[in-house]
Amino acid sequence: MTIEFQKLHPLFAAEASAVDLRAVHDEDTLERIRAGMDEHAVLVFRDQAFSSEEQRDFAIRLDGELHRKTGISVLQKSRFGDEAITDVSNVDTGGEVLESDSRKRLYGLANRLWHTDASFQDPRGRYSMLAAIALPPVASDTEFADMRAAYDALADETKARLAGLRVHHSIAYSRITLGFEFSEGESDQLKGAIQPMVLENPRTGRRSLYLASHASRILDRPVPDGRLLLRDLMEHATRPDFVYRHSWCSGDFVIWDNRATMHRARPFDDTQHRREMRRVTTLDTGDPARIAQAV
Ligand code: OGA
Ligand code: MN
């Protein structure tokens, strides 16, 4: 099966031609999608009709191992019965819109911070695949930032300074900056992971800045210098010309490379309108990103 990709932004993100991903099992087509991911970092597939199990099985076919140690699983079990299938919604188990003070809601609001999925785990996340199940009648967009373009735009001396730096990522950290409170037991399970500041895609050799609001400090720099550097880099990486904004249509299925992009949900009136999305994320195992050492 031939899939064509049409660019959605000058730098990255593309829309795939019509295909039912449930029926994609052949290695040639899966490899075409992987090559599309290497080139565009965000791929939009329209009109998909996955059940949660079909979505999970497609993720395994495309990219292997699944991320199951999600942050939310520490707070509550997935309503899909498998921690690999993440409920990205503002509804409770009965399908009702969450109360404004619900813990699940407050936790999920941190998706509005620029982040990458599963950078707080080792192995880190690779591809995330988000399916739009039920959309509100108002815009509830998701923005993506191209972290390869952000890396390329750095001055050579900055690139040299960043190569080899190690950054601590913690999902508890990004939530705490918003005032979310964890119990001691929860915090113990959310210690975070150490990640390189610069990653290199082993298939293309392209480098990217690996940042997120989960990035709490740079191990090789004292506080506050490291935190200030992280803030400057986040500002740089989310310049408007590096950002693609996705306006969701029902049936959209978006795959992004967490090593090459950041993303964030845009605000909408989430205490009024239901929004149900379902995500599966793979792990960066089997030909993982290389750690960039020198320019
Ligand atoms: C996610 C996420 C953003 C959104 O699913 O990982 O950050 O707009 N989603 O729902
Ligand atoms: Mn996310």
Q: What separation in Å is there between the alpha carbon of 117 and the centre of ligand 2?
A: 5
Query: What's the mean pLDDT when you consider all of the chain?
Result: 96
pLDDT band at 67 (very low <50, low <70, confident <90, very high): very high
CB of 280 closer than 8 Å to CB of 64? no
pLDDT band at 202 (very low <50, low <70, confident <90, very high): very high
Q: What separation in Å is there between the alpha carbon of 60 and the centre of ligand 2?
A: 19
Is residue 5 within a helix (H) or strand (E), and if so which, with residue range?
strand 5-7
Ligand in closest contact with the CA of 139 = 1
Average pLDDT over residues 285-291: 95
Share of the chain above pLDDT 90, in %: 89
Order the strands of the 198-200 sheet from edge to edge: 207-209, 198-200, 290-291
246 C-beta closer than 6 A to ligand 1:
no
Chain length of the chain? 295
More confident residue, 147 or 190: 147
Beta strands in the chain (DSSP E): 5-7, 14-16, 42-45, 86-89, 125-134, 142-146, 166-169, 193-196, 198-200, 207-209, 215-218, 243-246, 253-257, 261-265, 276-283, 290-291
Torsion sign, CA atoms 225, 238, 200, 155: negative
Taken in order of first residue, the domains within the chain and their CATH numbers are: 5-294 (3.60.130.10)
pLDDT band at 40 (very low <50, low <70, confident <90, very high): very high
Share of the chain above pLDDT 70, in %: 100
Q: Which of 148, 271, 269, 258 is nearest to 214 (CA)?
A: 258
3-state secondary structure of 44: strand
